[in-house]
Amino acid sequence: MQNGLYVALSAQVAMEKRLNAVAQNVANLSTSGYRAEDTKFSALLAQASKGPVAFASSGDTYISQRAGPVTKTDSPLDVAVQGQAWLAVRGANGPVYTRDGRMTMDAMGQLRTLTGQAMLDPGGAPILLDPQAGPPTIGRDGSVSQGVNQVGALGLFTLDPNSTLRRAEPNGVTSSQPAQAVQDFTRIGVIQGHIEGANVNPVLEMTKLITIQRAFESAATLTAETESSFQGAIRSLSPQGS
């Protein structure tokens, strides 16, 4: 099989992975705190042929760190994170980090996400309020007060830039490296009464979709032409009448 066919097939595999990332982003346009996925591509040199042949890798998917748009809600149980930090919630296998600051308070006064996960404080413990003391006031540093009394604090965490982030449902991530509780709130904090939307740019995603489609069609055409050339070579080299 000719090298061109391998190159075209590797490109189609790469485009399929990129298409899946775009589809995931489009499906979460309205998901609060969602961070978009993108794919990095590199070239691999084939060692089997006499000359180097550049193959497209299948791509490494990563989670974008861009902030999403912030919308004012005026709800005392909504917060938006400012800066490169994350809220923490209790997951099945440890803490899950999220930018979705929409919260509820259950009958016992515990702060939870809309899906029922416990919100965590800087020490990784659940946050318990007085359900009879009225709505809380949440400061920039995550401190939670009811009346004149501070009753807890939202945990704000930074993630190591070199850590690998993996998607955790519904819109959180897990980190391969331990997170660090924020100590300096000069550039990092929360805003009460606001929520962060998805950092997905619909126009950019549609542009990517068109680009992927055209690239896939070009790869498919190259595959067909290479295969046709290969078959023609076989017929030319075959003994007459065979």
Confidence band for 5, pLDDT divided at 50, 70 and 90: low
Digit-coded pLDDT (tens) for 101-149: 999 999 999 999 999 999 999 999 999 999 999 899 999 999 999 999 9
Digit-coded pLDDT (tens) for 32-59: 999 988 876 544 444 444 555 444 455 5
* pLDDT (average), residues 181-185: 95
pTM: 0.76
Domain spans of the chain?
3-65+200-237, 70-196
Return the amino acid letter for 198. A
Give the 3-state secondary structure of 39-60.
EECCEEECCCCCCCCEEECCCE
Q: Tokens 């359900």 appear where?
A: 131
